[in-house]
Amino acid sequence: MSLWGGRFSEPSAAEFKQFNDSLSFDYVLAAFDIQASKAWAQALLQAQLLSAEENQQLQTALGELAAAVAKNPQLPLQTQEEDIHSWVEAQLIEKIGATAKKLHTGRSRNDLVATDLRLFCKTFAQQLVSTNLAVVQALLQFAEQHQQTLLPGYTHLQRAQPIVAGHWALAYVNMLQRDVSRLREALKRLDVSPLGSGALAGTTASIDRQALAHELGFRAAAENSLDAVSDRDFALDLLNAAANGMLHLSRLAEDVIFYCSGESGCFSMSDKISSGSSLMPQKKNPDLFELLRGKTGRVLGHQHALQTTLKGLPLAYNKDMQEDKVGLFDALHTYQQCLAMTAFAIPELTVNVAHAEKQAAMGYSNATELADYLVSKGIPFRDAHHITGELVVKAQQLGLPLEQLPLAEFQAVNQLIADDVYPVLELRYGLNKRTALGGTAPAAVKIALKHAQDWLHAAEAASKHVRQARLSDVDKICELIAYWAEQGENLPRNKADIMQAIHGFAVAEIDDEVVGCAALYVYSTGLAEIRSLGLFPKAQGKGLGAELVAWLLWKARELGITRTIVLTRVPEFFGRLNFRLTVKEKLPEKVMKDCEICPKKHNCDEIALEYFL
């Protein structure tokens, strides 16, 4: 069914129809088109452009259609409609007749497709965040297992200095943390609803577009109708995030391929993620990782293609923009698949520990330690560097590693070198010295691992049920705090106080309903307290309390806070979250601020705990 036929006296040519139609790929937007249509019908009811009976007919029919699409996502492909919007309308007409034709009142395919695509991108970006976190989890397990395992580190693909394998894995954790951050930033920017912008100039219907946006789960409505229907920045944002993410997966893949090679042999792959040769029976090929590397070009190409499509388009909508979907869909699906395969593959990697340690010792990787040793003897570093180079040449000529070079040979180059040089040249000496933030010493890696695990817990919470509180949450937060104040677990707080402190609150949701809250209060010295933690009884036992605490600890770290405290009657709960006992006498700010107004001031039964970030 065509949505635009009245102007034309003859049908489109079959060749043009095939070239023009988009149902073959935009059918994946069916669920989102139905979601937008349900919200639009409700808005038309409120604008008195639909009767309650007509709205109910539409809501019922759309609900049935949504169920059918959920059961068979390819259902639209069984027809010859032009696009997903035509298909939805045709299905509604078949179900409820003329009432269905009223649904398109005041809207255009231009604002509808922009809305559908944003809803799709919101859903897919959240899935990408979750899959990234699964890769981070796999890498953290690898890092935890290999905090002490030596591995040769490289620059220019030449052996440089020894590292631990856990440090190597944490480097990729840092990359994926940035990928998650990019996706979340993209989610914030795309969280705007175009619906109600019409074809380009807005709608004549008396629609509350902000309420409509909230109904669809958007933060706000787009403020300019021209921009709303023609903006595809959000698609470029996601393609950029996917391209950067794929670059990181490709670099990881290249490292694994190299470490698994016969020339390195530091890693081994399980049979589950390997393939063989049709001719050479001895081969065990890293095809999975080669495909990760290869598919990166595909995603980069889609990013560039959309940039090229958009670069010269005038306002507002142009048919060129139909080309925004195929590449975007493929890029996001490819990125998602590659993330999932990486999460699957990392646990199937084994470090050949003894061999990797031997490899780490080769290539005179302790030369920097020798130079530092000379500096400790009072020699300027530039001279120490030159002397070390001479000694490396001498050792190479004798076919010996530096640590086996006789003392006489050392002293022939520089008399300040003594027997105490040999402990310095041991493989783990220099490694264990690199304890500064970001270093590869096992002690530094242990701290980095803890930080990364804390980040992961907070990120998982934020991607599931926890978010920053908004002013619209104040009444629910008041209700929660009042409930627990009656139980004697929290201090009461008035609504004005909560409104002023809303920026410090996080809330937990189940099915879009606020069921829990907690706040981060920052004292004047930079100490922070987690307070007002509470869940409605129906939400307890689901891990939401731990998610709220993890989210607030992440927020504290983002603010540069190094120590967070809590006063509680359930210390075992916070103990499981790695808080440790402290004494209340160390918390004068807390005592001065809140204890004076506490009804249990002279009979306090709260336990103090602290967490160092």
Burial group, residue 506, by CB count within 10 angstroms (0-12, 13-18, 19+): buried
Under 8 Å between Cβ of 33 and 116 = yes
* Residue 395 phi, psi (nearest 5): -65, -40
Cα-trace Rg, the chain = 31
Which of 2, 206, 277, 376 is labelled catalytic? Answer: 277
156 an active-site residue?
Answer: yes
Phi-psi bin for 438: left (phi > 0), alpha (psi -120 to 50), beta? left
* Residue 156 phi, psi (nearest 5): 55, 25
Give the total residue count for the chain: 613
Under 8 Å between Cβ of 151 and 163 = yes
Q: Is 189 helix (H, G, I), strand (E, B) or coil?
A: helix
Per DSSP, 13 falls in state P
Q: Which residues contact 261 (CB under 8 A, 6 or more apart)?
A: none
Distances (CA, A) of 486 to 496, 516, 518, 548: 19, 16, 17, 21
Q: 3-state SS of the chain: helix, strand, coil percent to 5? A: 60, 10, 25
The CA-CA-CA angle for residues 217, 219, 221, to 5°, reads: 100
Distances (CA, A) of 288 to 124, 160, 258, 259, 273: 23, 28, 13, 14, 6
Burial group, residue 266, by CB count within 10 angstroms (0-12, 13-18, 19+): buried
d(CA 329, CA 337): 12
Neighbours of 140 (CB within 10 A): 20
Sign of torsion, CA 237 240 241 242? Answer: positive
d(CA 228, CA 192): 9
Half-sphere exposure in the Cβ direction for 575 (13 Å, CA): 8
Catalytic residue numbers, as ranges: 156, 277
